[in-house]
Amino acid sequence: MSEEAAIKLGKKTKAKVIAQAASGVDPNYMGIGPVPATLKALKMANLRLEDIDIIELNEAFSAQSLAVIKELKMDINKVNPNGGAIAMGHPIGATGAILVTKALHELERTGKRYGLITLCIAGGLGSTTIIENTQI
């Protein structure tokens, strides 16, 4: 919902999407798609990975997650602060919405500013969304 629509309804926004990017890689390297998507989204938002406070990384499987973390040199202390899909499950079709919601609540709880949500998708695809907490 737009900020204008929220105001008309008497609601406050909690966050806004400041960048979203998708990418595709050779399907033989399925799982690494979040890397180029993340680099694109960070460039669109004019941010560096160091600026991101919370990272919700879809854990399709452990080796995939570790490859993305290593390739992007992510701060492991920012990744999936409340657990990931390996512990909580991966309901295909709902994972993206779950990760955005988890990032939103963690930003709100901690008073942090930026959240990055990234997904690896079958066939070599990747998607990254960056949100900004509007409550701070």
Q: 81-89: long-range contacts (C-beta < 8 A, 24 or more apart)?
A: 81/54, 81/106, 82/106, 84/56, 84/57, 84/58, 84/59, 85/58, 85/59, 85/60, 86/59, 86/61, 86/62
Residue 72 has pLDDT above 80, yes or no: yes
State the DSSP string of 53-80: SEEEE--SSHHHHHHHHHHHT--GGGB-
Q: 89-96: long-range contacts (C-beta < 8 A, 24 or more apart)?
A: 90/58, 90/59, 90/60, 95/58, 95/119, 96/58, 96/127
User: What structural domains and CATH numbers belong to the chain?
Assistant: 13-133 (3.40.47.10)
Residue 106 has pLDDT above 80, yes or no: yes
Residue 119 has pLDDT above 80, yes or no: yes
Kindly state the tokens that stand for 121. 């998708």
Residues of the chain with pLDDT > 90, as a percent, come to: 80
Output the pLDDT for position 87.
Answer: 81
pLDDT tens readout for residues 11-37 = 989 999 999 999 999 998 889 999 999
Output the pLDDT for position 61.
Answer: 87
pTM: 0.94
pLDDT tens readout for residues 2-12 = 888 998 999 98
